[in-house]
Amino acid sequence: MKEQRWSRLMAAAQEGDRAAYDRLLRETVPFIRAIAARRHSSEDRIDDVVQDVLLTVHRVRHTYDPERPFERWLAAIAERRSIDLLRRRARRAAVETSDQRTYETFPDAGANREGETLARDELSRAIATLPPGQREAIELLKLRELSLKEAARTSGRSIAALKVNVHRAIKALKARLEGR
């Protein structure tokens, strides 16, 4: 029943029916989350997968054949994106270590809190606590000031995913710094 409805909604979306598409994407979020949750435990990462899957569905929506089951098509994409995120994390973990003290110049915490370095330190620390996808987007686009195209090449992520991540990162940083 649900399967047939999703299949119909997707067929309508392929023809440009925006309301059907909006409804379909909203209805499928729990389904995608359930698949992502099989491989990821952190809420942030599950959300990363969900958004990545939504972006992928959008990009490959012309490959869906309404004669075939929609759930299987969507599940295959969700499964692949979950694994992609695991691989990216493994690659990053192999070359990066995370240490809270990285950003301190003196062992005495007070010595780091002088003048203008205060804000920068706070910001660096806040950036360090972001989820990897968001941190990467901020580092590439805002700190290294790469263009979206260059950042996409460097990180292997799509431009749309970078945009979403940088947007989420700025919101998270704002919330964190305002709440200090």
Partner 1 sequence: MTERTRKSTERLIEHLASEAVPVRRLPAPALRASLFLLSAAALAALGILLFAKLPMFERRIADPKLAIEVAATLATGILAVLAAFELSLPDRSARWALLPVPTLVLWIACSGYSCWRHLVVHGPDGWAIGESAQCFRFILVLSLPLGAALLLLLRRARPIAPVRVAALGALGVAALAAFVLQFFHPFDVTFMDLAIHLVAVGLVVLVASGVEALALRRD
> What residues line the site for partner 1 (CB under 8 A)?
13-19, 21-22, 25-26, 29, 33, 43-44, 47, 50-51, 54-56, 58-65, 68-69, 72-73, 76-77, 80-81, 152-153, 156, 158, 164, 167-168, 171-172, 175
Nearest CA-CA partner of 9 in 27, 31, 36: 27
Length of the chain: 180
- Nearer to partner 1 (CB atom), residue 12 or residue 123: 12
Can you say whether the dihedral through the CA atoms of 19, 76, 48, 2 is positive or negative?
Answer: positive
SS3 172: helix
Distance CA(37)–CA(164), nearest Å, equals 21
**From the CB of 80, what's the least distance to partner 1, in Å?**
5
Exposure of 35 in the CB half-sphere (CA atoms within 13 A): 24
Enter the tokens of residue 94: 């192999």
- Nearer to partner 1 (CB atom), residue 51 or residue 127: 51
- Nearer to partner 1 (CB atom), residue 39 or residue 112: 39
- Nearer to partner 1 (CB atom), residue 92 or residue 167: 167
**From the CB of 66, what's the least distance to partner 1, in Å?**
8
